Chains A and B, each alone.
Chain A
Amino acid sequence: MQLIDKRVNPAGKSLPNRQRFLRRARSIVRKAVRHASVERGIRELDGGGVVVVPASGIEEPHFHRGQAGRAQHVLPGNKEFLEGDRLPRPTGGASAGGSLAGQGEGEDQFSIVLSASEFLDFFLEDLELPRLERRKLAAMKADGVRRAGYSSTGSPANLAVLRTMRNALARRTALNRPRSSEIIELEAALDAAQARGDEQACAAMRLQLEGLRARRGAIPYIDPIDIRFRRFEVNPRPVAQAVMFCLMDVSGSMTEHMKDIAKRFFMLLYVFLNRRYEQVDVVFIRHTDEAKEVDEETFFHSRETGGTRVSTALAEMARIAAERYPLDSWNIYAAQASDGDNERGDNMQAVTLLRDAILPICQYFAYIEVGEPDHEPAMSSVWKIYENLGEVGPAMRRVSTRQEIFPVFRDLFRAHNADATS
């Protein structure tokens, strides 16, 4: 017998099979993921985890008997039966029923453990960042500088010494510039000849020495044509960071339910942006009749009283964006949640701010109007004024139940070329 230690054998041999399976079960898994996402907190969305998939779409059929017909079963564990006893037929389910009913139909569903990225892939499938082409792509780029070879002109600070010397050496070799060692040798030989008093040799050597010196003078050690400079060129680099502004009305009319819906929408947006940018900053701005930047905890959980002035939040956002998030290095996204109330006198100001200060700097501005589940949505004042902005205005949706959030989110971010597969 031979014992072989194969522990180094890599794990994950089944990975291709798993991928094949997921591809096969794609539509089913996708549905299950969507379903799971309604039930779990959106914070947990990032974690992947277990989804339950009905076995129906991925069965492997084979011939087997439905009802066994007239069948005999040999069973262990007889305690009280005598030959000829008659037993009631078990009604399926527990104990002997399952076994007596034959093979059983197999499990109706089973669970799949998805990794975080698999989960999000399914979750965010066929969504894409909206309207980038309209909000000019240049905003997605920032200028960077990178090395681009050598040039014969440039500033002395960029002198490429190595390259220059290499060119000089090549030129000197090609033009056969006499080395100083040759001249020194010849001078030594001349001295020796003079000491010997060999005039004829001295004359020849002097002539040769003169030639060498003249040649050395004519061919410079470094010529301007040898000089090279490091060359740089400007290249556009996509901005890999985004900031997401969450604006929310926290006046007394916003109930916990509305806040919960708003929160879920914000978190979805966060997850979505996180997939596409290296870094995502989140700024929380809440407002009543004045706006304040707060941390997440305060944003969602503390309650304020007072009137409602939307324009204050917009102004605060514009201020923060101008201060901390320069357009050339940040992509700006904003989502506003509100129950739609606004003080009458503030409407004009809000529209002006939105149109002139906010929308031009934003990649995307979504407005979510939250409501109570059993209320018929009325035409709110914020909705009305935002709607008047028409095509350039923000993307707007109404949400009143938790279940609607994901469809609305998908609706807002649906890929332009997405087909009807979802």
Chain B
Amino acid sequence: MNGILLQLFQDTLVVLIAPLLLGWVNQCRAWLQNRSGPGVLRPYLNMVKLFHKDAVLAHNASPMFRFHPYILFACMWLAASLVPVIATDLPLSPAVDVIALVGIFALARVFVSLAAMDIGTSFGTLGARREMLVGFLAEPALLMVFFTAAAISHSTSLTTIVETLAHKQFIIHPSLAFAAVAFIMVLLAENARIPVDNPSTHLELTMIHEAMILEYSARHLALIEWASALKLLAFTTIGFALFMPWGIAEAGNWGALPLALAALFIKLTVAGAGLALLETISAKMRIFRVPEFMGTAFLLAVLGLLVHFLHGN
């Protein structure tokens, strides 16, 4: 019963704070670029604005196009609510392990790309193609990062991984250093952040994610933006779960929850600022450098797994 309550609490929490994280990252970026910034609440206001507008659909939009924002939102919500954010005993977590989690991200990506191709505009297909290009290397890289953690904890269940890494005897795992670098690269690519994609332009040469959602408006667009925020939150919390799981409450330990919540907010603040810094100091890559970048991430993750096995023997 308590577990279900916790699950519901986490579901609500993630969906509410996701835009806040996005706002915080944007605000930090603005500060780093000597701008005053739109304020951390901007994403919420944007969404309210979008929810007020009339939706416009292209004449030849099929049901696929209309239906997709809901699927995307549901997938990302599910993903964000599966990660042990504040406590490990989530009743949903046995149903979906890390491989299935990567599968959910892939499902969302395939739907995004298909919806982008639905109208049949040049930008839409361009975005879909580039998204799949990033995805086909990011997905295995992410999986390999997870495998490194899974090999350490002998489990692909995210809760077991967190419990092993956070609550068992403290051991330094060198393989995680490789995994962490690879993970950050994947995070940047998957969330359309700067060296790979630029979330704040509509420039033909650079855009990936924005090109795919050009035709969306009003409520559909709001849902997609919200889903992107949820994805960023999901990735950030996955990063916490794998590389700094300290503070996440153990199963059944209800007293630790407030502390876990505080730890989460501190970590999110720091990580958001770090992400903004990373985006500020790096430059957007040419699109054909992206496969190289992602390939490097993938190989680093493989190397992490390899280093784990090498150390183990």
A binds B: no
Which B residues are within 8 Å of any A CB, using their own CB?
A: none
A residues near B, CB below 8 A?
A: none
